[in-house]
A = this chain, B = another copy of it.
Amino acid sequence: MSAGRTARDRARTELTREIKDEARRQLADGGAGRLSLRAVARSLGMVSSALYRYYPSRDDLLTALIIDAYNALGAAAEQADDGPTPLARWHSACAAVRGWALANRYEYELIYGSPVPGYRAPQDTVAPAARVALVLIGIAAEAGVPDSELPPVVHAQSEAVRAVLPDDLPPGALARILLAWTQLFGMISFELFGQLVGSADPADEFFGYAVGRMAEFVGLTDRG
């Protein structure tokens, strides 16, 4: 559908976006649990029931925010995927993910925190959700990281993943990237959710250290 032919269509798409924007703004103070349709409607000068014409339920509004968040994070990672060597790109991309998470705390929580109660993620979210992983995979693929031994089931799962990937990577490398991927988000979540207080907090240096060790683990070197 285009930008909307009739005046009503234009008003509709615009209001839909305004509602989402206001919701994102309100997300910033209190997180998803505190997001209130009524408050969003109030801020927009309309009554809560009118809002249901644009988002059938609170969950639908959340879904829209979740997809946006995945895409924003993915875009940040893709944009930072730049540098003279694969290792530099790896560091840059990981730092961008962390930077986005720190700057957009509650949006990060929305996608990598505990699932919103009663909410079931629709299929629309899986493609945007994969973007960060694809960045890491792309870097490793261009660097040509080595294969490694895998348990049979993990090997099979890696093969299955490889089948749907644009880049070609040996299963052992894929499994290691998957591990690094969970490490990356595990560390960011711990930092954001206050689990590192008392140990590696502030976490800037520790994060860089960990990202470097993960690069080694995956097989990225500085030879470009």
Contacts and interface: CB of A to CB of B under 8 A. Distances in A.
Nearest to A108: B114
A195 B114 contact: no
A117 B31 contact: yes
Interface string A188-201: 01100111011110
Contacts of A213: 176, 179, 217
A44 interface: no
Interface string A171-192: 0000110110011111101100
A46 interface: no
Given A183-B183, A183-B186, A186-B183, A117 B34 contact: yes
Contacts of A126: 197-198
Contacts of A217: 213, 217
24 contacts: A32-B117, A33-B116, A33-B117, A34-B117, A115-B193, A115-B194, A151-B205, A152-B205, A153-B205, A154-B209, A157-B199, A157-B200, A157-B206, A161-B199, A175-B206, A178-B200, A179-B209, A182-B183, A182-B187, A184-B186, A185-B186, A185-B190, A213-B217, A217-B217
